[in-house]
Chain A
């Protein structure tokens, strides 16, 4: 069974701090997505990375796909209360049905003003 391990599970920081969330696996993925989920809502896609070593930036968020396509990180610079939420990584599996993803268990981020 392919697993995606996310760390840390919980993170509580002050506004303005930087943070990094990790997503690791022993399996190789065709792509890696990051989602953010707010309470009472469904996950919302933030970014997809598909090439080993790829780095994508979305304002203060920086996403990186590992060279071996087994891991990824999300770095937030100068976190703000609006960044609060559950961050989920999801890996696209080779083969299988189109669109089949493996989800990590998530990192719950709380940013205090």
Chain B
């Protein structure tokens, strides 16, 4: 899985519950990302972190918060889950080269909010 560990693999939440998705990479890359993937929508960027200590909003950040705990770990938190957040969440990390911008993804967390 391209050096990425995501936990949990599956999760079911009730509306209003909170949870944190964990991600760790072992390739010593500076950049890390959180995406969501919905049917017919491709991958949409939620938040990214260009380096330890920095985070920025992506295309769909509402309802989410992130923490770049250290160079290896980047977590995604849902404070009050909503059914619209039912999705598959992918964590990724980026190659150090600024030109190519390649990204490598974990196996995903499948989240259902009822």
Contacts and interface: CB of A to CB of B under 8 A. Distances in A.
Interface string B9-51: 0000000000000000000001101010000111111001010
A31 B56 CA distance: 22
A13 interface: no
Given A41-B107, A48-B100, A99-B103, A104 B42 contact: yes
A11 interface: no
A12 B62 CA distance: 36
Interface in A92-113: 92-93, 97-101, 103-106
Interface residues of B, number: 31
A48 B31 CA distance: 18
Contact of A31 (B41, B100, B108): B100
Contacts of B102: 31, 33, 45, 48, 99
A92 B106 CA distance: 20
B1 interface: yes
A93 B103 CA distance: 13
Contacts of A74: none
A76 interface: no
Interface of B: 1-2, 4, 30-31, 33, 35, 40-45, 48, 50, 56, 90, 92, 94-95, 98-108
A30 interface: yes
Given A33-B102, A42-B106, A50-B99, 16 more contacts: A31-B102, A33-B101, A42-B107, A44-B105, A45-B103, A45-B104, A48-B100, A90-B103, A93-B101, A97-B31, A98-B30, A99-B33, A99-B98, A99-B102, A99-B103, A103-B43
A20 B108 CA distance: 28
Interface string A37-50: 00011111100101
Interface of A: 9, 30-31, 33, 40-45, 48, 50, 88, 90, 92-93, 97-101, 103-106
Contacts of A97: 31, 48, 50, 56
A4 B42 CA distance: 10
